[in-house]
Amino acid sequence: MLRTRMGALALATLLAAPLAPQGASAQPATETFPIINSPTIFQEFGGLEGLRRLMEVFEEELIRNPETRPFFANRDNSRTKQQLVDQICQILGGGCVYRGATMRDSHRNMGVNNAQFLGLVEAFQIAMDRQRIPSFTQNRLLAVLAPMSRDIITR
Amino acid sequence: MRFLLAGLCVGALLAGHAPAMAQQAGNTVRMPSLESFRPQGASGRLPLTSGVTMFEGASGGGLTPWATIGGYGTRDQIGATAFGTFIPTSDFRVYSTGALIGLYNRLELSYARSRFDTQRLGGDLGLRNGFSFDQDVFGVKLRLFGDLVLDQDSWLPQVAIGAMYRQNDRGSLVRALGAQRNSDADYYISATRLFLAQSLLVNTTLRLTRANEFGFLGFGGNRGDQYKLMPEVSVAYLVNRNVAVGAEYRRRPRNLEGVSRDNDAFDFFVAWNPVRNVSLTVGYVDLGRIVTRREQRGAYVSLNIGF
């Protein structure tokens, strides 16, 4: 059902695009991510509900980690969490479609350095540990996320 | 044994100073399993991706050097590690301690001091019991390209070249056993690849060497004095964020007539990250036949403390 609804939305967006006014309000580029070839990995993460819970725990860990706290504390991260759910769901083959900005665009002016990126990876690993996701499964996802460091680390 | 303890104390002191130095250096630590040990402003690396060492000083799997730059520093940071290793084999004891500095994930400088204690066999060999050979190893390693953690979508491994200069303190004795010299350099190139999707790390090292029994019995010998290219392979599996298991294989030259009868050494190990900065490795090593007819095998333990 999710797939059909998402599909319908995607179709609607495609049809609407030529009618949208050109110039300053043109749609920003989005990014499609590689999909892990596994029939079970989405369920190993607990499906959509599991991913939503994971992102809540991830936010806690991001605020706890001194490297990432400045980026996530004292602000409303709801939109980020929802986009993360879409992104990870897509990568895990859950059928979601990520509609956010590209990794490069969304991190462009943040000045993320190597240590801060690794802090985020650490926070994510701890969050996955708390959600009892097996280490081997975690690493399969991390393998897809790791190369995104090139677009995220700008300092 | 005394200098092993001294080395560990130095390591503990260094680690204890870590928070103060870490503030200056930009903080360079690994993933913890106990949150309460997290110092201020820490960054991280996946376990084992900084490598460990047994008795040569250069970071790697223990028995073999990898393309890793040791310490826990990222490309913007300086990190350091101290280690202590104890290897009791069938007839001998090996004690080793040392330290390394990793600069900007590019250059590694290491020092190791090891003692090869002949124990009761010393007397049987015409030396006295408890006779020991000491060795200093000065190492340098340069990462050429590649990032084994982040370059998951590339076929390129992380590659580094390195050299180890070793000095053995029993010059006249090793020459009497047939060695050509008691100090020499090894040169090597390592390629390390982390297949995160399979939780598997693979390393291949090619080493130009003429060391006898890892340098403990000098370098070059009556059977040959040419540098030989020796292969070394490691494989490690990441069990979870803090535990890895692995195996290594290393071939060494046979330059001493009647003394070195076996080329190969191998080990199996479990590396554990109990708290941030600390890596404890226990394993089983077979160093091959060294002087005696018995295979020198034993369990070993190695502690690496970093900041």
Contact A67 B42 (CB under 8 A): yes
- Range in A90-94, B146-150, B210-214, B253-257 the model is least confident about: B253-257
pLDDT one-digit tens code per residue, B244-280: 999 999 998 887 766 656 668 999 999 998 887 889 9
pLDDT in tens, B216-248: 788 888 877 889 999 999 999 999 989 999 999
For chain A, say whether B40 makes contact (Cβ under 8 Å). yes
d(CA B137, CA B148): 26
Structure tokens at A31: 């990014």
CB contact under 8 A, A66 and B40: yes
Does the pLDDT of residue B28 top 50, yes or no?
no
What whole-number distance in Å separates Cα of residue A127 and Cα of residue A105? 26
Rounded average pLDDT over B49-72 = 89
Among candidate residues A118, A137, A110, A115, the one with its CA nearest the CA of residue A54: A137
CA neighbours closer than 13 Å in the CB half-sphere of residue B291: 21
Instruction: Please give the residue of chain A at the shortest CA–CA distance from B44.
Output: A118
Burial class (CB in 10 A: 0-12, 13-18, 19+), A106: middle
Residues of B in contact with A142 (CB under 8 A): 152, 196
CA distance A105 to chain B (A): 20
pTM: 0.82
B185 touches B27 (CB < 8 A): no
- Whether B106 contacts chain A with CB within 8 A: no
Closest CA to B263 of B239, B228, B287: B287
| Minimum-distance CB partner of B238 among A126, A135, A144 | A135
**A 33-52 → B contacts, CB under 8 A:** none
Q: From A61, which residue of chain B is nearest by alpha-carbon distance?
A: B35
Q: Is the pLDDT of residue A93 over 90?
A: yes
A129 reaches B (C-beta below 8 A): yes
Q: What are phi and psi of B302, to 5 degrees?
A: -140, 135
Segment A1-30 shows an average pLDDT of 55
- Mean pLDDT over the full length of chain A: 87
Which residue among B27, B150, B199 sits closest to A146, beta carbon to beta carbon? Answer: B150
A132, pLDDT greater than 80: yes
- What's the CA gap between B78 and A143, in Å, rounded? 26
Å from A52 to nearest chain B CA? Answer: 23
Query: Is B104 within 8 Å of B95 (Cβ atoms)?
Result: no
B137-162 pLDDT per residue, tens: 999 999 999 999 999 999 999 999 99
Looking only at the bridges linking them, the beta strands covering B132-145 and B295-306 are unpaired
**Among B164, B195, B179, B197, residue whose Cα is nearest residue B64:** B164
> B75 to chain A: nearest residue by CA?
A114
Which residues of chain A does B28 touch, with a Cβ-Cβ cutoff of 8 Å?
115
- Give the pLDDT confidence score for residue A23 in this predicted structure: 47
Which residues does chain B have within 8 Å of residue A146's beta carbon, measured at their own beta carbons? 149-153, 196
* Chain A contacts in chain B segment 234-253 (CB below 8 A): 238-241
Cβ contacts of residue B69 below 8 Å, gap of 6+?
B50, B59, B102, B103, B105, B106, B107, B108, B141, B143, B160
Spatial separation of the C-alpha atoms in residues A143 and A147, rounded to whole Å: 8
Pick among B28, B37, B43, B147 to test the A interface (most A CBs inside 10 A): B43
Per-residue pLDDT, averaged over B76-99, amounts to: 91
Instruction: State residue B48's pLDDT score.
Output: 66
Beta strands in chain B (DSSP E): 52-53, 61-62, 78-88, 93-103, 107-117, 132-145, 158-168, 183-195, 200-209, 228-240, 243-251, 264-272, 278-289, 295-306
**Cβ contacts of B255 within 8 Å, gap of 6 or more:** B178, B179, B210, B212, B219, B220, B221, B222, B223, B224, B225
The amino acid sitting at B135 is: Q
Q: What's the pLDDT tens digit per position in B167-178?
A: 988 888 778 778
Q: What pLDDT does residue B11 have?
A: 45
* Contact with chain B for residue A20, Cβ under 8 A: no
Q: Which of A71, A139, A153 to mutate to test the interface with B (most CBs of B within 10 A)?
A: A139
ipTM of predicted assembly, 2 dp: 0.79
Q: What is the pLDDT of residue B46?
A: 65
Contact B27 A115 (CB under 8 A): yes
In chain A, what residues touch B241 (CB-CB under 8 Å)? 125, 129, 135
How confident is the model over B280-299, as pLDDT tens digits? 999 999 988 776 777 889 99
CA B75 to the chain's CA centroid: 22
Quick check: B3 pLDDT over 60? Answer: no
Smallest Cβ distance to B241: which of A115, A119, A135? A135
- Tell me the count of A-B CB pairs closer than 8 A: 72
Q: At residue B18, does pLDDT exceed 60? A: no
Residue B91: pLDDT band (50, 70, 90) is confident
Separation CA A154–CA B189 (nearest Å): 30
Q: How far is CA B263 from CA B178, B232, B256, B297, in A?
A: 17, 12, 11, 14
B160 CA: distance to closest CA in chain A (Å): 20
